[in-house]
Chains A and B, each alone.
Chain A
């Protein structure tokens, strides 16, 4: 099973980002994911993310969203995480503003893996204490550390 640590690098974590809209949030995430691989256009990723949002918001409720997409030509699964200074409207079902966004982009042939990682991410963000820790973070490194730690933590599953 892919670990969170395999998905995310410190460069793709941004703390206290200033983002004013859902669109800007998705753009920033697309840029972060694309950065590693110059072949990948961040616009292609952005388009996929935004078309997924049209099916229904990827907001999980309680201020967290997991925008996700499968992208052709992607060599491996890749993620980015941003924590916003101010929550933005994300059309989440609970209508609450979203201030933490974790985007997941996987190669097109990842179908089951895609779902399994999503389920794992959703489980991670349903941990109320963990979300509080994330929100209390003040810099990128600490955020990244927490995310990586959750995976290898004492949870026995």
Chain B
């Protein structure tokens, strides 16, 4: 009994420390995953914790489970709207991109370190997949929001490239231990089979799971569990049938996250927590597993691999894959740099062990070291780089408190709360006379802890708390009513988008007439601003895209269904005009 209690005590302590560490991590801008990993290492055999943990099969099992949960949650959060600009580049990166990255890294690693080609390729495959969760956590911690094209590409890529890296690693390990004799046609067939079965099971199973959740009546607390058990079932089913379980759960997650689902908010919130738990468990465990002393022995080769991967292979692969999509160079540079490596490479580093390959420890230790370097070097620079390349857009909402409501049979509504600050545009205005966006209603005003009986005739005071019922797409408009603009000067709305707003359907001739503009590269088919800008941005325009005409800048401000509805007009001040 004593032993069990000690384990519980240590586990509780580990979780507590990890969760509290997140506060410090966002303060100093360090990637949180790095912190979890370090805590695991400190608790391990070489640190003060002194816990010995060398059970590789168990570690792989727990890691796979955690990864399945994380991918399912990633799918739930992926919005199908972002597929418009992100899907094709992301899928290209997740397939061809991984292949190129692995090929280049493997070849150069073998060459530089004088290793057999197959060993170089295996090392490269192990570190081949990216992790976007870390990227988005970092950006959010800095209060940055990425332009949709870049954000969606990175997010979908990282969700969908794990199956590819896993597949390559397994195939190469099997080849090394002699299960495959060649790396030719058989491999291609197996790839198609893995992905095909994974996709079919993920999509059909996701549909069935949605049907089940919507049909069945349960205690509310059980819906999220139903979802997660369904996800694990799909993972297992796909894997047993020789398909990719990771692809299956990711696709099922996307399906559930984008279709009407009973208790959707409940499920989402639960999975948010569960994904955190999975991240913590996985990284703590991987930190415990490694022997830091052995890491030092592979320091040189690991540095070589990391340098090749980060500085050459990833940027080259990204440029090659994004070529047909003609991303602006800033965005290519960013995607090329932000190939952050997370838990998956470490997890894949276990595979040679499990297969009993020769020198298996080396793969694991190199993978571990590369992830550490990537988290430190890339992780720490992500937010400043996004800022420097001007890929961030003004945050869409500054709402203080959001409570999403699950009303059966209702369109989506949220209950949001605002604290009235001294500089709020709404302060000292009469509640009933505020100009609110459509589809929003003030529910109540709380003043000094007391809800006001009839707020309509009241004048808003500083420190009042206003609750508003709204649909989520009205949030930006609602923010303008209650919150004064703060934040980095470059991202203040009028600095970023310009002072004036034009409609997307503005006739180009009228626009040219109003300002005496010459519109360059104009085609006959360009009647209005929308069609002109869409063509300039190859039909992949996103909010924040800008084009310069004469002394003006046009900035895409609002989009709806792939069409540009609002365009900011920004006037460039001439330096010579200063007195």
Enumerate chain A interface residues (CB-CB to B < 8 A).
1, 51-52, 54-62, 66, 69-70, 93-97, 108, 111-112, 114-116, 118-119, 122, 126, 157
Q: How far is the CA of A112 from the CA of B549 in the complex (A)?
A: 12
Tell me if B294 is interfacial: C-beta within 8 Å of chain A: no
B552-A157 in contact (CB<8A):
no
What are the 3 closest A-B residue pairs judged by CB atoms, nearest first? A56-B502, A122-B499, A111-B516
Contact with A along B500-532 (1 / 0, CB 8 A): 111100110011001111000000000000000
Would you call A55 and B506 a contact (CB within 8 A)?
yes
Pick the residue among B493, B503, B579 that contacts A55 (CB under 8 A): B503
Task: Judge whether B510 and A119 touch: CB under 8 Å.
Answer: no
Among the listed B493, B517, B550, B577, which residue makes an inter-chain contact with A116, where contact means beta carbons less than 8 Å apart? B577
Contact of B573 among A70, A93, A119 (CB under 8 A): A119
Q: Which residues of A contact B143 (CB under 8 A)?
A: none
Known: A60-B500, A61-B480, A95-B437. A126 touches B516 (CB 8 A): no
| A55: chain B residues within 8 A (beta carbon) | 502-503, 506-507, 510-511, 514
Shortest CB–CB separation between residue A25 and chain B, in angstroms?
A: 17
- B341 at the A/B interface (Cβ < 8 Å)? no
A93 touches B514 (CB 8 A): no
Distance A62 CA – B435 CA, assembled complex (angstroms): 12
Partner of A54, one of B437, B494, B510, B573: B510
A55–B505 alpha-carbon span in the complex (Å): 8
Q: How far is the CB of A134 from chain B (nearest CB, A)?
A: 16
- Whether the pair B571, A108 counts as a contact (CB closer than 8 A) is no
Identify 14 residue pairs between A and B in the complex whose beta-carbon atoms are under 8 Å apart, listed by A's number. Answer: A55-B502, A55-B503, A60-B499, A61-B480, A70-B514, A70-B516, A93-B501, A95-B477, A95-B480, A96-B425, A96-B481, A115-B551, A122-B499, A122-B500
Q: In the assembled complex, how far is the CB of residue A84 from the closest CB belonging to chain B, in whole angstroms?
A: 15
Say how far A49's CB is from chain B's closest CB, in angstroms.
10
Nearest CB of chain B from residue A64's CB, rounded to whole Å: 10
Q: Which of B499, B511, B566, B577 contacts A1 (CB 8 A)?
A: B577
* B574 and A112 form a contact (CB under 8 A): yes
B293: chain A residues within 8 A (beta carbon): none
Query: Which A residues touch B572, using CB under 8 A?
Result: 119
Per the bound structure, the CA–CA distance linking A32 and B511 in Å amounts to 25
Do A93 and B566 contact each other (CB < 8 Å), given the known contacts A60-B494, A126-B494, A157-B579?
yes
Query: Is the Cβ of A115 less than 8 Å from the Cβ of B494?
Result: no
Given known pairs A1-B577, A115-B551, the reply for A57 and B494 (CB within 8 Å) is: no
A11 to B516 CA separation, bound complex (whole angstroms): 30
Contact of B515 among A51, A93, A111, A126 (CB under 8 A): A111
Q: A157 contacts B494, CB within 8 Å? A: no
For B574, the chain A residues whose CB sits under 8 A away are 112, 116
Chain B's closest residue to A94 (CB) is: B480
Determine how close the nearest CB of chain B comes to the CB of A157; give it in whole angstroms: 5
Q: Is B217 an interface residue (CB 8 A)?
A: no
B480 touches A116 (CB 8 A): no
Say yes or no for B578: interface residue by CB 8 A criterion. yes
A146 to B423, CA, bound (A): 23
Nearest Cβ distance between residue A89 and chain B, in whole angstroms?
Answer: 8
Asked whether A58 lies within 8 Å of B578 as measured between CB atoms, the reply is: no
Q: A56-B500, A115-B551, A116-B571 are in contact. Are A61 and B494 (CB under 8 A)?
A: yes
Q: How far is the CB of B53 from chain A (nearest CB, A)?
A: 57
Instruction: Tell me, in angstroms, the Cα distance from A79 to B499 when the chains sit together.
Output: 18
A57 CB contacts on chain B under 8 angstroms: 501
Residues from chain B with a CB closer than 8 A to the CB of A94 are 477, 480-481
Per the bound structure, the CA–CA distance linking A81 and B514 in Å amounts to: 21
Task: Say whether, besides A1-B577, A1-B579, A54-B510, A119 and B499 are in contact (CB < 8 Å).
Answer: yes
With the chains together, A143 CA to B216 CA distance in Å?
67
Q: What separation, in Å, do the CA atoms of A61 and B353 have in the docked complex? A: 63
Q: Chain B nearest CB: distance from A51 CB in Å?
A: 7
Instruction: Tell me the bound Cα distance from A50 to B159 in angstroms.
Output: 50
Q: Kindly list chain A residues whose C-beta atoms are within 8 Å of the C-beta of B579.
A: 1, 157
Task: From A54, A115, A157, name the one whose CB has the most chain B CB atoms within 10 angstroms.
Answer: A115
CA of A93 to CA of B568, assembled, Å: 10
